[in-house]
Amino acid sequence: MKELKLLCSNDVILEDERIMKLDYCLTEQVTEEQGVPYYGIRIVKHLDDLVESEEELGVSTSKETVVSIIKKLCEFEVTPMSMIEIVDDLITQEELVY
């Protein structure tokens, strides 16, 4: 079973004065075969009556690592459309540090 926890929200004012809301969620899913929780990321964009979302499950077994990534995504107002590439880059950077 997958659990979602909202960690951060941003209200972004666009050039045309509309407000785009971005929600950043931590996902947690336990694998049946290993019983280990895997953490992931979901970003939901609300603009007018449209909702767009993207999710990347199983980013890491480290909750702290995924929370850190979510904080960076929120800080830089990353949208669902560019999330996957940016998360991949952040994970690669993290691996190079260790």
| pTM for the whole structure | 0.89
CA 14 from centroid of its chain's CA atoms: 21
pLDDT tens per residue across span 57-75: 989 999 999 999 999 999 9
Q: What CA–CA distance (Å, rounded) separates 97 from 73?
A: 19
Domain ranges, ordered by start, for the chain: 2-97
Instruction: Quick: pLDDT tens for 31-53.
Output: 777 788 999 999 999 999 999 99
Report the C-alpha gap between 19 and 10 in whole angstroms: 10
pLDDT score of 8 more than 90: yes
Average pLDDT over residues 13-35: 92
